[in-house]
């Protein structure tokens, strides 16, 4: 199995409007309801790729029951810790006239301290049955900032591939546990280091800094622009295929899933990440995050470019 850890899953609603106007009544052309959150998106794509993901985190309330039922209907394995706080719901608003996509994020609520003890028990119990640990998303408010670091350390003891996609203090704390790869986007990297990164050479220096702090490899994404990978003493630029995106939400999670799947199948970092950027593009061709189609992925794979890169002197 691949353990997908995400404390803050969500119900997801996607609403399409002919032309969105602020401070006005807007009537949707179409409303789609589904399940999401970063770890859920990763697990959905892993299953599409033929892997066996196991989801864990927190769920609560009626929305939590709906999310659990939706995952069961998708055939995804899950082992949640139930908490009093209801599972959140996020809404994606699409303006068809401009192509603009706006994400309305309901933040997660605090959970009792003992809930993290129970989640830790799930992680410890399941890791020996897994090949990889993927950590996705933020911790709940008031959570122990070292929780992800403890999970990474436990996974490393088992010899597992570990990928961390989170922000700020939780990301900083994981570095000493030596994750296999950390995956911030450019804005998250700037926030982590508390400094602007105006160009690619500055990003490359920041990536090397994270490796000096303990990360074996670093992947920095930039939306539809080229991503940068630093691994095994080398740098690569990853250029995704050019597409007419419908909804880019979840593309980073799709990248994570495909990259991990290919690494577990023996691909080197550049090739695994080529699959990742193709999966991210394929995800953007669907309205609901994490529900890419394999024909799209296979077609876009040929258009994804990975090239060795050196910062300009």
pLDDT of 259 above 70? yes
Decide if 42 contacts 20 (C-beta within 8 A).
Answer: no
Query: For 93-106, how does the pLDDT look when each residue is reduced to its tens digit (9 = 90+)?
Result: 999 999 999 999 99
Mean pLDDT of 62-80: 97
Query: For 196-235, how does the pLDDT look when each residue is reduced to its tens digit (9 = 90+)?
Result: 999 989 999 999 999 999 999 999 999 888 999 999 999 9
Looking at residue 91, the DSSP 8-state letter turns out to be: E
The candidate with the shortest Cα–Cα distance to 296, out of 256, 240, 249, is: 240
pLDDT of 275 above 70? yes
Residue 189 banded pLDDT, cuts 50, 70, 90: very high
Decide if 239 contacts 226 (C-beta within 8 A).
Answer: yes
- Angle in degrees, CA 239, 240, 245, rounded to 5: 145
Residue 154 banded pLDDT, cuts 50, 70, 90: very high
The separation between the first and the last C-alpha atoms of the chain, rounded to the nearest angstrom, is 44
Side-chain half-sphere exposure of 112, counting CA atoms within 13 A: 9
The candidate with the shortest Cα–Cα distance to 7, out of 85, 70, 102, 73, is: 85
Where does residue 305 rank: exposed (0-12), middle (13-18), buried (19+ CB within 10 A)?
A: middle
Residue 48 banded pLDDT, cuts 50, 70, 90: very high
Place of tokens 């908490």: 83
pLDDT of 311 above 90? no
Q: Where are the domains of the chain?
A: 2-19+28-308
Query: For 9-29, how does the pLDDT look when each residue is reduced to its tens digit (9 = 90+)?
Result: 999 999 999 999 999 999 999
Looking at residue 195, the DSSP 8-state letter turns out to be: S
Distance CA 283, CA 265 (A): 21
Strands 161-165, 132-136: pairing is parallel
Other C-beta atoms closer than 10 Å to the C-beta of 205 total: 12
Phi, psi (5° rounding) for residue 151?
-65, -40
Q: At 136, list the tokens.
A: 């996705």
Residue 270 banded pLDDT, cuts 50, 70, 90: very high
Residue 169 banded pLDDT, cuts 50, 70, 90: very high
pLDDT of 312 above 90? no
pTM, to two decimals: 0.96
User: According to the model, what pLDDT value does residue 313 have?
Assistant: 65
Architecture of domain 2-19+28-308: 3-Layer(aba) Sandwich (3.40)
């Amino acid at each position: 199995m691949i353990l997908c850890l995400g404390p803050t899953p969500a119900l997801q609603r996607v609403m399409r409007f002919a032309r969105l106007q602020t401070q006005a009544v807007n009537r949707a052309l179409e409303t789609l309801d589904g399940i999401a959150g970063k770890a859920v998106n990763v697990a959905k794509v892993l299953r599409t790729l033929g892997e066996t993901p196991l989801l864990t985190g927190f769920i609560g309330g009626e929305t939590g029951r709906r999310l659990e039922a939706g995952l069961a209907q998708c055939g995804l394995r899950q082992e949640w810790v139930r908490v009093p706080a209801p599972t959140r719901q996020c809404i994606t608003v699409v303006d068809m006239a401009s192509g603009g996509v706006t994400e309305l994020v309901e933040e997660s609520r605090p959970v009792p301290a003992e809930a993290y003890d129970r989640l830790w028990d799930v992680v410890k119990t399941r890791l020996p049955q897994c090949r990889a640990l993927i950590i996705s998303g933020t911790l709940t408010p008031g959570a122990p900032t070292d929780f992800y670091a403890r999970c990474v350390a436990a996974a490393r003891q088992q010899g597992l591939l570990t990928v961390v996609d989170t922000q700020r203090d939780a990301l900083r704390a994981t570095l000493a546990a030596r994750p296999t790869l950390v995956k911030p986007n450019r804005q998250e990297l700037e926030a982590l280091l508390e400094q602007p990164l105006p160009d690619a050479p500055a990003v490359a220096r920041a990536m090397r800094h994270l490796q000096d702090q303990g990360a074996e490899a670093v992947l920095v994404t930039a939306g539809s622009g080229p991503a940068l990978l630093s691994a095994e003493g080398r740098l690569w630029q990853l250029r995704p295929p050019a597409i007419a995106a419908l909804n880019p939400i979840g593309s980073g999670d799709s990248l994570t899933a495909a990259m991990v799947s290919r690494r577990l199948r023996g691909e080197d970092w550049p090739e695994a990440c080529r699959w990742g950027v193709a999966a991210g593009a394929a995800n953007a061709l669907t309205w609901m995050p994490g529900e890419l189609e394999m024909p799209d992925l296979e077609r876009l794979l040929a258009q994804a470019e990975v090239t060795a890169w050196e910062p300009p002197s």
